[in-house]
Structure 1
Amino acid sequence: MSDGLSPTRPSGTPQATLSVIVVAMNEAHDIRDCLESVRGLAMETIVFDSGSTDGTPNICRELGARVFETDWPGDGPQKNRALAEARGDWVICLDADERLSPELRAELERLLAEGTTHAAFSTPRRSSFCGRFMKHSGWWPDRIERLFRRGSARFTDVRTHTHLEIQGTIGRLDGPIIHISIPDLHEALEKTNAYSTAGALTMAEDGKRSSLAKALGKGFWAFFRTWVLRAGFLDGAEGLMLAINNAETTYYRYVKLALLTRDGKVAKRR
């Protein structure tokens, strides 16, 4: 642990408790490893499932999770729903394709036992793309805030790629979250379509506009940033595939935005 974890809990006081929240849909291939990584550490695991047809809710219940089967209002709103059910002193949010590394789990055990003055912590995230853990391409160390004191943070109200709004100081942990992000190109293409659609809808609701020329420019910039500025070329063939994937996702997001706003299909958010 980097900082902020000098003992602050008086001797003899109870250890702090941890809630884990996960949002999921059709994650039977990943969810078991995710939940197993926090067993024995968390006082509770809360899963909000939005219509799985592959048995995900049953797997979660088998592993002792509290499961809520509901609709999908978007990434931020769904995670805030799960957060509202949490009862622990601390909360960590994991995606179904994420799990704690042994190093991070050990740091969390110390934090819960010893206390801290921070409201939240950032952790590095080690992500894989098509079977390779990326060391460059903007994917490492990829620090994210997922651990926070309950009551000190909420998720932003966006459809995709929400983040925490935190009140208080943020410390740093060294152990990574392991992220099995995109196992193959089939899933890469599925996520390109889903993320570009959700991103276009969010931008349209915010009153943003686009054009084909803007989409081409944004796509090229996404490729250049990943491949050159973030040294994706050092990640070999997978780095090139990731740069192209980022470019495609960005291009389609702005093209879809142009079509949505041209046809007047989306009303601005108030």
Structure 2
Amino acid sequence: MERLPLTVALISYNEEDRIEGVLKAVKDIASEIIVLDSGSTDRTVEIAKEYGAKVYIENWKGYREQKNSLIKKCSQEWILFLDCDEIPSKELKRSIIQAVRNPKADGYFINRKTVYLGKILNYAFQPDWKLRLVKRSSNPRWEGGNVHEYLVIDGKTSKINGDLLHYSYRDIYDHFSKVLRYSKISAEDMYTKGKKFRLRNIIINPVSAFIKEFFIRKGFLDGIRGFIVALSTTFYTFLKYIFLWEKNIRER
């Protein structure tokens, strides 16, 4: 297969158990693979180089700024941003090839589906459209907070078919460890923006989060996995406001 004028761009840190899966999935379509590592102590960098990736090492600057630094290192006409725990499905790869060869937009949203404890979630976390495939000439940049960063461009966007399979959590311990870490980062972002804690935040917001994930998004159709996800979003929502409360009282 002739490779596309496409850079696959990733950030990494100690991903030796997962990075090979994504590199193996894209090596036949990408003319360039760029990995920006933040000082891995395992075999992440070695594995990336085995797949022909250009590897750069920089100190961690937060998700948003790390990914913005990644953009500057890409040289191809198109950029596909992936995380080390994301693997394009075969249908998505076909859609990417078609979009790059016959573009009808400057950027494309891709739906991401989480693979949780060995099973694809069809309802929980759905839909999860992410702008990931963009023209380098469209001025792509990552904006938002330090954990909920998002990609924006100047130009027309569209959607493509196929799923981006997200192997986000190695196990339940990893899942809830990330919930704890991300909720703290979210609280720091809210605090920086001047948001104040309100008692209703820890009463109404967590309940709303559970209802949205389990009932409105029909997470219950994913069985016990959907229930665990709904609880984790409840836990995340509660924690980020508790962390915000802690920062507010320390300020006083």
| TM-score, L = length of structure 1 | 0.87
1:260 equivalent to 2:251? Answer no
How much does 1:219 deviate? 1.5
Which of these residues, 102, 126, 133, is aligned with residue 147 of structure 1? 133
Distance 1:227 1:238 in 2: 10
Note the 1:53-72 alignment, pairs <5 A: 53-72=41-60
User: Does 2:114 align with 1:124?
Assistant: no
Residues 1:204 and 2:191 are matched in the alignment = yes
Q: For structure 2, which runs of at least 5 residues remain unmatched after alignment?
A: none
**C-alpha distance in 2 between matches for 1:71 and 1:215:** 35
- What residue is the counterpart of 1:230 in the other structure? 217
Q: Which runs of 4+ in 1 moved over 3 A?
A: none
Q: Secondary structure at the match of 1:125?
A: strand
Partner Cα separation in structure 2 for residue 17 and residue 260 of structure 1: 47
Say whether 1:220 aligns with 2:226: no
Aligned-pair RMSD on alpha carbons?
1.8
- Write the deviation string for residues 171-228 of structure 1: whole angstroms up to 9, x where unpaired: 2210111111223111111111111111111111111111454223221211111111
Does structure 2 retain, via aligned residues, the 8 Å contact 1:123–1:145?
Answer: yes
What's the CA shift for 1:104?
A: 1.3
Distance 1:146 1:112 in 2: 13
Amino acid at match of 1:148: V
Quote the Cα distance in structure 1 between the aligned partners of 2:168 and 2:4.
30
Match of 1:17 in 2: 5
Residue in structure 1 matched with residue 65 of structure 2 by the alignment: 77
Give 1:190's match in structure 2, choosing from 174, 177, 180: 177
Partner of 2:97: 109
For the pair 1:248 / 2:241, whether they are aligned, the reply is no
Q: Provide the TM-score with structure 2 as the length reference.
A: 0.93
Q: What is the alpha-carbon distance in structure 1 between the residues aligned to residue 3 and residue 58 of structure 2? A: 33
- Percent identity of paired positions between Structure 1 and Structure 2: 30
Counterpart residue number, 1:26: 14
Count the aligned residue pairs.
Answer: 250
Match of 1:42 in 2: 30
Aligned residue identity for 1:130: L
Contact 2:112 2:128 in 1 (8 A): yes
Query: What is the distance in 1 between the residues matched to 2:200 and 2:159?
Result: 41
Q: What SS does the aligned partner of 2:17 have?
A: coil
> Which is richer in strand?
2
| Residue 172 of structure 1 pairs with residue 174 of structure 2 | no
